[in-house]
């Protein structure tokens, strides 16, 4: 197997804490003097050396840890499930049987150390080798993985097949017992690291971490100094009473209540219910005349204004009249750098620097020297967040200085005056969430009965009983007058 180590500390797989304890017990169990006694056992007419029985494993755990039989069995079962011990007679079944079933200790190379993830290339080589050996007979989930890996790493599939053939050829040259043991080892390893459907993935550890939680750091004086400074700053932070926090939540809820489409409804109508697209047309990103509710929301806070494309467009008109339109232009350029194409980060960062930050730039922005120094130094190795300090400075400048004047300006008041107030359309349904009241369709049996009753009523209404009786009398008279044959 080829083991690919992870890339220079950029992503870390947190090691499960109990694995170190399990490995300590594994070392004790394999001790020649105090561990579990191993011996050569016969499996399928093959003599397998260093085999142990499930009962021996359980008895050793009972004596070593002084626990109950149930706990010992559960712990031994975990040893097998995590791949530290693998079965010889039922390789597909990773469970411990407290009887004469045969097991072997897994080679430490195959232990689930979790320093790196099981590589897709290794798994593809294993499946390709198994496919060659069994002439295409694989399990259903293995076939799915095989086809998926063929598409995923198709660019090196020739290498995968070549490695599989070499390993298969080398395996045929081994002794029969070694070949059987290695097959059981590999199968147990991949059953743990590529769990089949229906089995529990015991190595599920969550998301990869940015930092290594298991790194052993030396606690230097600098470390303790920073820790003390952190706690001092935490103590000096202002605390807010719960009543003040709840008051803020209530105020926020009251302010945004009228703008909540679920609680207050949509005007002119909910397009998901009425199939009327007018709501989408009135609230398009850069509609010519926005709705009054949308314009009023710009006055809630600066964040609401700058998040709305139409609000930014109107705010830009105001800034141009104040000869500070470059501030919003710089903020938008930073947003494009942050959330745009990663491959063009370096080019965009250079363009922003030449346009807004360089001495004598055409749209030069006014930021303090400290922020400028941080930004220029960061541009030596540009990344998508390199301009965060300058962007935050300009954002706060617009929020504290320009935003208040904008709300009092004729530009905002004019937009508010000509804003559209949509009239409420015809509602097709009622209820808090505008949900249709569904009615179940009647049973076909009831429909058939209703149709028969309707036909009977129709027949009774159209037939004249006197005419029917006269016809019957005439028929009887004719039958009496007819001569006998």
Confidence label for 392 from pLDDT (cuts 50, 70 and 90): very high
Read off the pLDDT of each residue in 317-333 and give the average, rounded to a whole number. 92
Instruction: Give the residue among 9, 18, 260, 263 at the shortest CA–CA distance from 115.
Output: 9
The rounded radius of gyration (Å) of the Cα atoms in the chain is 40
Inter-helix orientation angle 325-339/388-397, to 10°: 140
- On average, the pLDDT of the chain sits at 83
* pLDDT score at 9: 40
Read off the pLDDT of each residue in 395-411 and give the average, rounded to a whole number. 93
Read off the pLDDT of each residue in 325-339 and give the average, rounded to a whole number. 93
* pLDDT score at 431: 47
Confidence label for 413 from pLDDT (cuts 50, 70 and 90): very high
Read off the pLDDT of each residue in 145-165 and give the average, rounded to a whole number. 90
Return d(Cα 91, Cα 104) in angstroms, integer: 11
Angle at 274 between CA 270 and CA 275, to 5 degrees: 105
* pLDDT score at 223: 84
Instruction: Give the residue among 314, 298, 304, 290 at the shortest CA–CA distance from 421.
Output: 290
Confidence label for 41 from pLDDT (cuts 50, 70 and 90): confident
* pLDDT score at 332: 94
CB atoms within 10 A of CB 302: 21
Burial of residue 456, with CB atoms counted within 10 A of its CB: 0-12 exposed, 13-18 middle, 19 or more buried: exposed
Read off the pLDDT of each residue in 34-51 and give the average, rounded to a whole number. 86
| 438 pLDDT higher than 90 | no
* pLDDT score at 70: 92
Confidence label for 309 from pLDDT (cuts 50, 70 and 90): very high
Proportion of the chain above pLDDT 90, given as a percent = 35
Read off the pLDDT of each residue in 19-27 and give the average, rounded to a whole number. 87
* pLDDT score at 227: 87
Query: Which tens digits make up the pLDDT trace of 114-139?
Result: 556 678 899 999 999 988 888 778 88
* pLDDT score at 235: 87
Phi/psi for 53 (5° steps) reads -95, 160
Confidence label for 460 from pLDDT (cuts 50, 70 and 90): low
Query: Which tens digits make up the pLDDT trace of 90-117?
Result: 888 889 998 889 999 998 888 876 556 6
| 420 pLDDT higher than 80 | yes
Read off the pLDDT of each residue in 182-197 and give the average, rounded to a whole number. 89
Least confident piece of the model among 19-23, 160-164, 228-232, 374-378: 19-23
Lookup result for tokens 């300090």: 389
* pLDDT score at 7: 40
Confidence label for 466 from pLDDT (cuts 50, 70 and 90): low
Read off the pLDDT of each residue in 364-390 and give the average, rounded to a whole number. 91
Read off the pLDDT of each residue in 58-70 and give the average, rounded to a whole number. 91
Instruction: Give the residue among 322, 386, 325 at the shortest CA–CA distance from 352.
Output: 386
Lookup result for tokens 């969430």: 433
* pLDDT score at 85: 92
Confidence label for 425 from pLDDT (cuts 50, 70 and 90): low
User: How many Å from the N-terminal Cα to the C-terminal Cα in the chain?
Assistant: 109
Least confident piece of the model among 311-325, 334-348, 428-442: 428-442
Which of 157-171, 203-217, 461-475 has maximum average pLDDT?
157-171
* pLDDT score at 336: 93
**255 neighbors 300 (Cβ within 8 angstroms):** yes
User: Is 445 or 44 the better-scoring residue by pLDDT?
Assistant: 44
* pLDDT score at 116: 60
**105 neighbors 181 (Cβ within 8 angstroms):** no
Structure tokens of 310? 């139409």
Proportion of the chain above pLDDT 70, given as a percent = 83
């Amino acid at each position: 197997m080829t083991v690919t180590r992870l890339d220079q500390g950029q992503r870390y797989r947190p090691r499960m804490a109990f694995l170190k304890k399990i490995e300590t017990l594994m070392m004790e169990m394999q001790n020649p003097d105090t561990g579990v006694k191993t011996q050569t056992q016969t499996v399928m007419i093959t003599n397998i050396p260093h085999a142990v029985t499930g009962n021996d494993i359980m008895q050793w755990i009972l004596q070593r840890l002084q626990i109950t039989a149930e706990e010992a069995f559960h712990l031994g079962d975990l040893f097998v499930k995590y791949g530290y011990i693998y079965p010889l007679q039922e390789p597909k079944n990773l469970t411990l049987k407290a009887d004469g079933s045969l097991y072997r200790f897994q080679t430490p190379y195959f232990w689930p150390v979790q320093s790196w993830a099981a590589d897709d290339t290794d798994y593809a080589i294993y499946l390709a080798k198994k496919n060659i050996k069994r002439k295409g007979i694989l399990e259903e989930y293995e076939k799915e993985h095989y086809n998926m890996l063929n598409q995923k790493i198709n660019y090196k599939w020739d290498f995968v097949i070549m490695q599989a053939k070499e390993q298969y050829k080398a395996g045929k040259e081994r002794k029969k017992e070694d070949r059987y043991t290695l097959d059981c080892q590999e199968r147990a390893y991949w059953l743990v690291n590529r769990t089949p459907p229906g089995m529990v993935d015991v190595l599920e550890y969550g998301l990869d971490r940015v930092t290594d939680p298991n790194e052993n750091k030396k606690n230097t004086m600098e470390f303790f100094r920073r820790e003390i400074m952190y706690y001092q700053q935490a103590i000096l932070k202002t605390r807010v009473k719960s009543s003040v926090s709840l008051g803020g939540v209530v105020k926020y809820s009251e302010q945004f209540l009228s703008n909540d489409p679920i609680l207050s409804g949509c005007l002119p109508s909910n397009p998901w219910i009425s199939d009327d697209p007018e709501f989408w047309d009135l609230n398009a990103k850069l509609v010519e005349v926005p709705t009054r509710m949308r314009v009023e929301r710009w006055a809630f806070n600066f964040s609401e204004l700058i998040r709305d494309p139409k609000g930014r467009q109107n705010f830009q008109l105001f800034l141009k009249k104040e000869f500070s339109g470059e501030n919003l232009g710089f903020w938008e350029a930073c947003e494009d750098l942050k959330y745009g194409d990663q491959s063009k980060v370096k080019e965009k960062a250079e363009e922003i620097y030449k346009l807004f930050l360089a001495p004598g730039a055409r749209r030069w922005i006014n930021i303090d020297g400290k922020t400028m120094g941080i930004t220029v130094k960061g541009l030596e190795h540009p990344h998508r967040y390199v301009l965060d300090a300058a962007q935050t400075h300009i954002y706060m400048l617009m929020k504290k200085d320009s935003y208040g004047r904008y709300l009092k300006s004729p530009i905002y008041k004019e937009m508010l005056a000509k804003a559209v107030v949509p009239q409420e359309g015809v509602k097709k349904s009622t209820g808090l969430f505008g949900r249709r009241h569904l009615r179940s369709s009647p049973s076909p049996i009831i429909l058939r009965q209703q149709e028969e009753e309707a036909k009977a009523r129709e027949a009774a209404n159209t037939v004249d009983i006197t005419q029917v009786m006269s016809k019957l009398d005439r028929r009887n008279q004719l039958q009496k007058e007819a001569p006998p044959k």
